Chains A and B, each alone.
Chain A
Amino acid sequence: MTKEENVKKLTDMVADFVGFIGKKLPDDVVAKLKELGDKETDPLPKVLYETMTRNQDLAVALDRPSCQDTGVIQFWLKCGTNFPYINELEALLKEAVVQATFATPLRHNSVETFDEYNTKRNVGKGTPTVWWDIVPNSDQCEIYAYMAGGGCTLPGKAMVLMPGAGYEGVTDFVLDQMTSYGLNACPPLLVGVGVATSVETAALLSKKALMRPIGSHNENANAAKMEQLLEDGINAIGLGPQGMGGKFSVMGVNIENTARHPSAIGVAVNVGCWSHRRGHIVVDKDLNVTCDTHSTWKFNG
């Protein structure tokens, strides 16, 4: 195949995957929702979980996006410097989003700022979002794709705490956001927390934290302990499905961290809704693809 044909194949592959994640939740989310739903006993949360489950089944059966808000599409790349399509990647992701917009179909969610018009193709200045991590001496590319819906984007917040506030301040920051904005962001939530040195480092980590599997833990023992403490603490609030009350509030809390300036604790929170539409594929130099988030996705390109 020519380079051009391969670029088209990769474009088709990404477009297909983006459409797919809008219709079928990742395996870890499906399992966690079932676990949480099975433990509810009151009629209201039970009706809500039943409706949510029925919706996911219908989405697959009718081949439609399970939630109407298919979000702004965001990609996080871990791309090898020797990946043969590194130069074409950013442009082809944009093209893939346009393709998926019409094929799936996706809702038109890209509004140009200041000129304030909807591009009606889901692409615009800086959308889809693409974050690059460059991996030296690798010839493969990992692609995380995420549908950032409006509801679960709203609770996003970042700030810099004084060290005197400590991790108690981080606790306040995260928990206060749950009862003000989190309850409207379609619980049970996956909560991503960034602890770093400034607003932008913490903010990006809080989004990357949402790409981690549910049930995984930060490799630092204290951070992992804090993930569990926050998860238990937010669950104790009892937001329940849709924020209307229940035994749980979250699917999990994932913390990502870096070192910090001695005078500052950068902290950020980002949440994923119960309909946490993220997927992860690994593409090798010959465009063989594997997917560890969705066992039923197959690309027939």
Chain B
Amino acid sequence: MIEIRGNKKVLITPVSAEDLADIHIGDIVWLDGDLMTCRDVAHRRLIEYGRELPYDIRDKAIFHAGPIVRKIEGTEDDYEMVSIGPTTSMRMEKFEYDFVKETGVRVIVGKGGMGPNTERACKEFGAIHCVFPAGCAVVAATEVLKIQEHHWDELGMPETLWCNKVKEFGPLIVSIDPEGRNLFEEQKVVYNEKKEAAKQAIYPEVKFIK
């Protein structure tokens, strides 16, 4: 579901492909609802080893993130979110097409760009990849209402699947949209052109070997 709240466009889980039809790269959106952390080993377990995820993420969101959590004193197994921010999404690229296909996840949040596998998944299954501003882990933590469940704890704090309930989680900048357009890849073309020009300007100035 999508709700316009003040000047914010808020995605509320469950999110459908139709909800995302009018979302484009460069848009800034926010998220309410279910957001599970999921990174390297969890992707490998599902795709390479065929282990089913212990938490259903269909029409929900995942976060490429390894947080710092703290046990809530006086509880047996409840944790609070201390600091959570995105990790480099590109590490999950090789798994992401199959991952989206298998899980039905709708919103992928991470850092930096992803590649053709993710573009294909977003286009085929109606999903998006967004960037949460990296390094802004306290902002993100204050937007987590509660850690509802956690699984695969044996992987250690960063790799555990932390299943969060979030409220106005963002800003999320859309980097791959359901048309398969990729903000970073489009930017890279511009960056590379500018880089070549910059190199040409530097070369004549650094002829220190005579």
Contact = CB atoms under 8 A, between A and B. Distances in A.
Given A66-B135, A68-B66, A245-B187, A51 B171 contact: yes
A175 B188 CA distance: 13
Q: How many B residues touch the partner, as a band? A: 35 or more
Which of A58, A109, A186, A275 has the most chain B CB atoms inside 10 A of its CB?
Answer: A186
A118 B191 contact: no
A105 interface: yes
A59 B187 contact: no
B144 to A, nearest CB: 12
Interface in A216-234: 222, 225-226, 229-230, 232-234
Interface stretch (A131-139, A161-169, A201-209): A161-169
Main secondary structure of the interface of B (DSSP, over half): mixed
Contacts, number: 189
Contacts of A234: 198
Main secondary structure of the interface of A (DSSP, over half): helix
Which of A44, A55, A65, A105 has the most chain B CB atoms inside 10 A of its CB?
Answer: A55
A225 B208 CA distance: 11
B28 interface: yes
Interface in A102-139: 105-109, 111, 117-118, 120
Interface string B2-43: 000000000000000000000000101000000000000000
A291 interface: no
A237 to B, nearest CB: 5
A167 B206 CA distance: 6
A52 B133 contact: yes
A183 B112 contact: yes
A151 B194 contact: no
Interface residues of A, number: 64
Interface stretch (B47-55, B77-85, B100-108, B121-129): B77-85
Contact of B197 (A62, A69, A154, A236): A236
Contact of A243 (B156, B184, B207): B184
Given A68-B137, A111-B156, A236-B198, 9 more contacts: A48-B173, A67-B136, A175-B195, A183-B188, A234-B198, A237-B194, A237-B198, A244-B175, A273-B135
